[in-house]
Amino acid sequence: MKYQRIEGLVSFVISNYNNENYISDCLDSILNQTYENIEIIVVDDNSTDNSVQVIKQWIENNKNLFKNDDYIKLLELPRNTGFAGCVTAGLFLAKGEYIAMQDGDDKSAKNRIEKQVQFLKDHPEINSVGSNYASFTTDNPTPISVYNEIEYGISKIKDLYSAGKNCISNGTLLIKGTVFDKIGGLTRKIDGAEDYEFITKLLVYGVDNLNEELYYYRNHDKQRSKEFCSINKSFIDEKDLRVLMVLDSLNLGGTETHVLSLIKEFMDRDIHVCVLANHGTFSSEFMKLGCTIYNIDFPLYVIKDKNTEIVYKNKIKQIVSVEHINVIHAHQSSSGALCVDVGKELSIPCIFTVHGLYYYDILFDKLSLADSVISVSQPTYDWLLEYNVASTVVPNAVKFTDFMQTRNSESIKQSLGIDENAFTIVYCSRIAWDKTKVAENLLKVCRDLVRIENLDIHLIIIGDGPDFNQLVGVADRINSLLGKKHIHLVGSKTNVIDYYMEADCVVGTGRVAIEAIACKKPVFAAGNNGYFGLLNCDNIENAWRVYFGDHKSLKSNNASFLYSDLKYAYNNRDDLAMSGESCYEWSKNFFDIISNTDKIIQIYLNTIRNNS
């Protein structure tokens, strides 16, 4: 910024387009505020009516009522830029400690700014505040209450926006100027709802609403929201979707398993979907789907060389053309970065699902260019907000009926030489990152529970990764020390449900936790970020909010937590079984594949229509 923000000053940015009959009322309502330290910046978006003359006359009549000649100004744009461009131009001229925005046909209650400024002073943790609103017409100027979806409370508001809902009215907002300095203005990313993305960027700084009607919307035929809603958007139905699902490779992991479930549901709905990815250990499961699979050998890194990038993008474009794709859905950095570019170059929407907090390689130059971003967890949503990337939370989902069907008749325990009555723990994860630490803790805890507590415990570890051989060495030493095999490392498995079903409890995070719950198994949540503990009906929602310890945590991955919890579980098997059952109903509703696929399809359709 070229100047320091003026303490106590409220900058009002008024966007105007063809409001010659209403703009004077709008400006009067600001001039008559009980809070007197105000500047007004009117931005005219190249109006074709007499607005500019009306505004200039109003300024001439009222300029002596302002503390400073510079506190009232008119900016005439040389061409029509639309709502986002108009407002943002004014925002960059605002000098005040606080900034308010108002449409040129609306009005504010005379005590609006006084109440909002005081609220922000009283609540330093909040940096933006809106309010409830009422409505009026020119013929009936007395505002009347209207039904709306305004909500209150920082946490509730954030939860609603993470679910793709809206509960703040942009015109009612008063924001601290320093927040605008960090996040910038509005974009044209969501046509007709440009303010929605702007509000999502405010959430990380704390936003609330006052439960008072401090803003008055004027109802008339030409108001901005009505004009947008009347536009005949190109109609597209679910059955018209042609989806290219893109992964770096078809290896076995939570991301790939999620995509597999999603494709199955798409195909059940007769939605055309094909897959683009490199071969991997999970390829056989994808081939069973019966959809077309294209193989490209994506590198393990984001391509920076322009010539190499062009070669890969041309291959993707060829597939898009052959399959008549109208939406690309990417999930991982290497392939996803290319898909974002391809989408822009072909004017095809690219949706990007962010599966964790590790996308730093594309966070600053690619993710923000995706047409829509999906987060798989609340912590992921919050993390993206810190970098001004708006998203919608759609969790990993499963088809719960698939997990309660009769499984393989061959006993997993029997094949591993485990006694049928032995207490069996299953840990399923990629053996990498901090999840290796969880596995190492489990090895040591099981060693001590057998050696010190004399408990008949067996641990089965499913998964592969760069640290697998390291883990094998530790397991061999423990088994040698115990004189009997209690630790069983089985590598990657596609039939993990069979293992869950024979376990007394499952230790895991993310999708593993969800799948184990679907099997009605007790789950001890532990992930990359920390330890949560045994899930039950009282804490399952809180466990979801930290994504079962994978994306956030309340405790560290300390072996002592596992030791005491698993010892208790061993000695209280009836209570343990009940905890698994108690999580099932909530999880079945929340992680249901059908309802969450509905959300993803709606994101597809909205994005395609917005790009039309």
Tens of pLDDT, residue by residue over 427-481, are 999 999 889 999 999 999 999 999 999 999 999 999 999 999 999 999 999 999 9
Residue with more model confidence, 1 or 585: 585
Listed range (127-136, 265-274, 395-404) with the worst mean pLDDT: 395-404
Strand arrangement of the beta sheet that strand 327-330 belongs to: 293-295, 272-278, 242-249, 327-330, 350-354, 372-375, 392-393
Looking at per-residue confidence, does 225 or 323 come out higher? 323
Other CB atoms within 10 A of residue 420 CB: 9
Architecture in CATH for domain 238-397+593-611: 3-Layer(aba) Sandwich (3.40)
With b for 16 or more beta-carbon neighbours within 10 A and e for fewer, the 260-295 pattern comes to bbbbbbbeeeebbbbbbbbebbbbeebeeeebebbe
How confident is the model at residue 232, as a pLDDT? Answer: 41
Domains 238-397+593-611 and 407-590 share a fold: yes
Q: What is the pLDDT, as a whole number, of residue 191?
A: 63
User: What is d(CA 390, CA 373) in angstroms, rounded to the nearest whole number?
Assistant: 7
And the tokens for 511? 């999708």
For residue 314, pLDDT beyond 70: yes
Q: Full-prediction pTM beyond 0.75? A: yes
One-character DSSP codes across 125-174: T--EEEEEEEEE-SSS-S-EE-------SHHHHHHHHHTT-----GGG-E
Q: What pLDDT sits at residue 3?
A: 64
Taking the mean position of all CA atoms in its chain, how far away is CA 596?
A: 13
Mean pLDDT, residues 376-391: 94
Q: Is the pLDDT of residue 405 over 70?
A: no
Q: Is the pLDDT of residue 229 over 50?
A: no
Residue 609 is predicted with a pLDDT of: 86
- For 544-567, how does the pLDDT look when each residue is reduced to its tens digit (9 = 90+)? 999 999 999 989 999 999 999 999
When pLDDT is cut at 50, 70 and 90, the band that residue 404 belongs to is: confident
- Greatest Cα-to-Cα distance within the chain, rounded to the nearest angstrom: 96
Q: Which has more pLDDT, 401 or 223?
A: 401
Q: What is the pLDDT of residue 240?
A: 95
Q: How high does pLDDT run on average in the chain? A: 94
Q: What is the pLDDT of residue 1?
A: 44
- What is the CATH number assigned to the segment(s) 407-590? 3.40.50.2000
Q: In this model, does residue 406 exceed pLDDT 60?
A: no
500: left (phi over 0), alpha (psi -120 to 50) or beta: alpha
Q: Where are the domains of the chain?
A: 6-229, 238-397+593-611, 407-590
- Check whether 543 has a pLDDT greater than 90: yes
- Work out the average pLDDT over 376-380: 97
Beta strands in 362-486 (DSSP E): 372-375, 392-393, 423-428, 457-462
Q: Of 88, 90, 109, 85, which is closest to residue 30 (Cα–Cα)?
A: 109
Q: 121: burial class by Cβ within 10 Å (0-12, 13-18, 19+)?
A: exposed
Quote the pLDDT of residue 526: 96
Check pLDDT > 80 for residue 539: yes
pLDDT digits (tens, 9 = 90+) for 338-354: 999 999 999 999 999 99
Q: How confident is the model at residue 205 (pLDDT cuts 50, 70, 90)?
A: very high
Under DSSP, is residue 372 helix (H, G, I), strand (E, B) or coil? strand
pLDDT tens readout for residues 233-289: 456 889 999 999 999 999 999 999 999 999 999 999 999 999 999 999 999 999 999
Length reported for the chain: 612
User: What pLDDT is stored for residue 611 in this prediction?
Assistant: 81
Q: What is the mean pLDDT of residues 492-514?
A: 95
Question: Is residue 193 predicted with pLDDT exceeding 70?
Answer: no
Q: What span, in angstroms and rounded, lies between the C-alpha atoms of 10 and 413?
A: 70
Residues in Cβ contact with 572 at an 8 Å cutoff, skipping those fewer than 6 apart: none
Is 6-229 in CATH node 3.90.550.10? yes
Task: Give me the mean pLDDT over the 30-35 stretch.
Answer: 98
